[in-house]
Amino acid sequence: MRTVIVRLPAAAYPIAIDPGLLLKSGAYLRTLTRASSVFVITDSNVGARFLAALSESLRKAGFRVAAHTVPAGENFKTLDQVGHIYDKLIGGTIDRQSIVIALGGGVIGDMTGFAAATVLRGVAFVQIPTSLLSMVDASVGGKTGINHPLGKNLIGAFHQPIAVLIDPQTLQTLPEHELRGGLAECIKHDIIRDAEHFSLLETSIDRALALDMTYLADLVAHNVAIKARVVEADPFERGERAHLNFGHTFGHAIENVSRFSLTHGQSVALGMVAASRTARRLGMLDELSERRIIALIFAAGLPTGGLTLDTDAVMQTMFLDKKVQSGKIRFVLPDRIGHVVIRDDLPSELVREALVSLKG
């Protein structure tokens, strides 16, 4: 078992990574808590595959188990669905000693975390991510949230889990496009923090796509460690943690305007291409590095062009992003592979050119 500890001022929590961990989740959690009851939130896809096995493991460890299933998909990450979760939690006589478990991808983690942060003014929360994207990104760091008709993740809270349990074997049932979407976040982490591992990923990304379990466990552990160290340094995104938004200023707007027909990973991939091209146009990033970034995104089977969305609509949506401060859009741009900087002084025409370049 690989374990990464996230150390924050208020508390520390483990991120455990081990093939087969889902079936041992109950025993693992029993070492961390004396809670008697757990409430599992999952979606209709993940629940059909893994809820029964998780529930059995939890019951064997002495937990009382209740569960609620929500419809699968980003379109359901809404206040209305969180209201249904509140109804089930409160109607199920949850108390402050109960644990809420998120079993699923990033949507479930975001919604469940937000519900746990707000019901009874906050209850304990465990992440069991089942997609590569949620394993390496969404489950780490305590960001929770839901979408609003005007934008993605505009309603939310910080609420750290007491543990994250990652079983790479759950990726065996993941649709290939979702696996590729998770690789977008892996590429992002290396661009912002680890040039050496970026070079390794250039020669080994096929092993991830082939579902090599040993490789995937190592890849997840590497990415979790990167994000954990960033979160430790900046738990509430007041500085360095904003580096994790590389590709997301463009990406969130693209995802929202597409009405989620483009996945988060696909949108972030396009966002990283746009940000890298912008950095190149500004003279910040050399041509070879720009080419390597775009080539690795392409090798992961992610889009690097072909965008058909209205450019004006995407630009307007960018101004509704959480990352806008004092009316200025903050962009995270690479000045070399392994390092990024934050800029809020980009001419709108340069931003437009980057978006137009994605249509090619």
CA pair distance 210, 172, nearest whole angstrom = 10
343 shares its domain with 241: yes
Do residues 193 and 340 touch, judged by C-beta distance below 8 A?
no
243 and 191 in one domain?
A: yes
- Residue 96's pLDDT is 86
Burial of 270 (0-12, 13-18, 19+ CB in 10 A): buried
Q: Tell me if 191 sits within 8 A of 246, measured CB to CB.
A: yes
Sequence-separated (6 or more) residues with CB below 8 Å from residue 129: 102, 104, 105, 106, 109, 135, 138, 139, 164, 166
Task: Give the three-class secondary structure for 127.
Answer: strand
Q: Are residues 220 and 235 in the same domain?
A: yes
130 backbone dihedrals φ, ψ, rounded to 5°: -120, 5
Shared domain check, 181 and 296 = yes
Look at residues 147, 172, 197 and tell me which one is the last residue of a structural domain.
172
| H or E stretch covering 101 | strand 99-104
Same domain, 217 and 339: yes
Residues 242 and 131 in one domain: no
User: Closest Cα to residue 126, out of 166, 91, 182, 75?
Assistant: 166
Tell me what pLDDT residue 58 has. Answer: 98
Last residue of a domain, one of 157, 172, 187: 172
Give catalytic residue positions: 121, 143, 185, 227, 237, 241, 245, 248, 252, 264
Q: Rounded to an integer, what distance in angstroms lies between the CA atom of residue 151 and that of residue 143?
A: 16
* Boundary-marking domain end, from 172, 189, 210: 172
**What's the one-letter identity of residue 180?**
R
The CATH number given to whatever domain includes residue 56 is: 3.40.50.1970
**What secondary structure, in 3-state letters, does 4-23 show?**
EEEECCCCEEEEEECCCHHH
Q: Which CATH number does the domain housing residue 313 bear?
A: 1.20.1090.10
Q: Are residue 167 and residue 183 in the same domain, yes or no?
A: no
What's the pLDDT at 94?
Answer: 84
Q: Could you tell me if 162 and 50 lie in one domain?
A: yes
Per-residue pLDDT of the chain (360 residues; tens, 9 = 90+): 999 999 988 889 999 999 999 999 999 999 999 999 999 999 999 999 999 999 999 999 999 999 999 999 888 999 999 999 999 999 877 888 899 999 999 999 999 999 999 999 999 999 999 999 999 998 888 999 999 988 888 999 999 999 999 999 999 999 999 999 999 999 999 999 999 999 999 999 999 999 999 999 999 999 999 999 999 999 888 889 999 999 999 999 999 999 999 999 999 999 999 999 999 999 999 999 999 999 999 999 999 999 999 999 999 998 877 667 667 899 999 999 999 999 999 999 999 999 999 997
d(CA 49, CA 70) in angstroms, rounded, equals 14
Is the domain of 165 the same as that of 231? Answer: no
The boundaries of the domain holding residue 270 are 176-357
The pLDDT of residue 322: 61
